Amino acid sequence: MAMQRSTGGKSSEEREQAWRQVIAEQAQSGCSVARFCRQRGITPSSFYFWRGELGRRDAVTKSASPTMGFVELGVANASSGDDRRERKASPIVIQLGSARVEVPSGFDPETLAQVLAVLHEQSAQRGASC
């Protein structure tokens, strides 16, 4: 998708959506920003501006209206014993691709979300070639 140098009469919502798509494509491509922009005729400065701007907008939106979601979880090494204290002390284990994350009780949800986002991004980048 080549970006037009002018706004071409696009509304700000349309421009925002177009840049969101470009940024997502770059993240999935596995290409460096410089190479991706060169291939699509986009200036890296415009790409970095919009990536930062949309990140700021998303942060404001997220802090104003937090959302919750669900992810599929599996049980690893479930014990058949009835000792609830032992099960309570066991960490939550999250398997994302080849990465395994053990989450102890009392974890910081924001830190976990950041770790999972990085793992997800790395997993997506490994799956795509530039």
pLDDT digit string (tens) for 7-48? Answer: 556 788 999 999 999 999 998 888 899 999 999 999 999 999
Helical axes 44-64 vs 12-29, angle rounded to 10°: 110
How much is the pTM? 0.45
pLDDT digit string (tens) for 82-117? Answer: 555 555 566 788 776 566 778 888 888 888 777 777
Least confident of 36-40, 48-52, 119-123: 119-123
What are the residue ranges spanned by the domains of the chain?
A: 12-64, 68-130
Q: Which of 76, 80, 71, 109 is nearest to 91 (CA)?
A: 76
| DSSP secondary structure code for residue 70 in this structure | -
Q: How many CB atoms lie within 10 A of CB 37?
A: 20
pLDDT for 121 equals 73
